[in-house]
Amino acid sequence: MVKVISGGVTAAKGFRAGGVYSGIRPNPDKTDMALIVSDVPGNAAAVYTKNKVKAAHIAVTKRHIANGVAQAVLCNSGNANTCTPDGEEVAEMATVIAAKHLGISSDDVLPAATGVIGVPLPISPFEDAMPKLVSSLSADGSAAAALAILTTDTYIKEYAVQFEAGGKTCTLGGIAKGSGMIHINMGTMLSFISTDCAISKELVSKALHDEIADSFNQVSVDGDSSTNDTVVVIANGLAGNAEITEENPDYANFCEALHIVSTELSKMIAGDGEGCTKLLEAHVSGAPDKETARLVSKSIICSSLFKAAVFASDANWGRILCAIGYTDAEFDVSDIDVYVKSEAGEVLVCKASASVPFDDDFATEILSQKHVTVEVDLHDGSEDAYAWGCDLTYDYVKINGSYRS
């Protein structure tokens, strides 16, 4: 059984985090550098953007995590360190600086960055801020780290759970950021997840790569896949359970915990889309296979026309059918049912791929809530999937029209 707890990325034993202002961002009222550290090296895995243009930190992180071990994550906001002439060199130097102050190997420090693309990132903020950043590390520092990695986000994103493995109580928690340039293919979308569960390098990697297909990769705010998307998991084993080395019930418990944390962080990212007023969730059932369910649900939440209709609380269900119809997958479209629902109730707006009478005022009330769900039954199989996005508002254009200012 999985239990929700507080604490975010420092909920697990042996993890500390902190965040400070380093000078990368022009506004000293916003912290811009975060550090997450495990007391001991842990088995680690990461996934990255599929954008061909990648941030410099990704190349460095790939090298450092090649042995499946990591002990710290260093992340700055305000500068993506992408498409810059010395980006990799700066990212590598930053890990050396952090490692020196932490007394660990620089190969065990994973860098990350988020912010404006194409602006050189100086090394001096890392040199100047690192003593203060290391001093800020705390077992209660999850929120401070979560705040320091935000860009246009409006709130911090953290979540943690406990589960059982080998008769021991294990904890898994994480933080994330993401608001714009989010159309995840592994925003900028960053997520750092920690656990004190003992699990092999091979299985922590398998669990993460299997998980993202149903959580982080099912999020879209604006259809733009970032250059910087990164998810990292570090498992330090300090819970004391026998290391999970096979796909047994303990591994299933670990995967369930990872899924819950990843899903909740994904929802927070979608619900904090730039300028948004509503979280949009699509649940597709009755699909012939899992991948089709994923594709159809994501097609719905990616539809700009439907996102705009949700902003206006307009039950324009034809836009849902349109998005379903142009999904790049093979399935029967002759018998599709569609409901829209929220805490205000639910209403059937389409039956057997055709119109049905419904109370338009009631549908408007449903769509006026902060969390709107579209339920779709394809009646063409037994698989289902979820996707998360947000409405498309005037403020999205305003925010992105002045992003560099």
For the annotated catalytic residues, the residue numbers are 188
How far apart are alpha carbons 151 and 79 in whole angstroms?
9
How far apart are alpha carbons 294 and 383 in whole angstroms?
9
65 phi-psi bin (left φ>0, alpha ψ -120 to 50, beta other): alpha
237 phi-psi bin (left φ>0, alpha ψ -120 to 50, beta other): left
Contact indicator for 190, 149 with CB cutoff of 8 Å = yes
How many C-alpha atoms does 75 have within 13 Å on its Cβ side?
35
How far apart are alpha carbons 350 and 335 in whole angstroms?
10
Question: Which of 83, 290, 269 minimizes the C-alpha distance to 176?
Answer: 269
How far apart are alpha carbons 321 and 127 in whole angstroms?
54
Torsion of CA 130, 133, 134, 140, to 10 degrees: -170
Residue owning tokens 């021991």: 168
With 0-12 / 13-18 / 19 or more C-beta atoms within 10 angstroms meaning exposed / middle / buried, residue 91 is buried
How far apart are alpha carbons 58 and 82 in whole angstroms?
10
Phi and psi angles of residue 307, each rounded to the nearest 5 degrees, phi first: -60, -40
Hey, what are 117's tokens? 């693309």
Contact indicator for 192, 76 with CB cutoff of 8 Å = no
Q: What is the DSSP letter of 219?
A: B
Contact indicator for 80, 114 with CB cutoff of 8 Å = yes
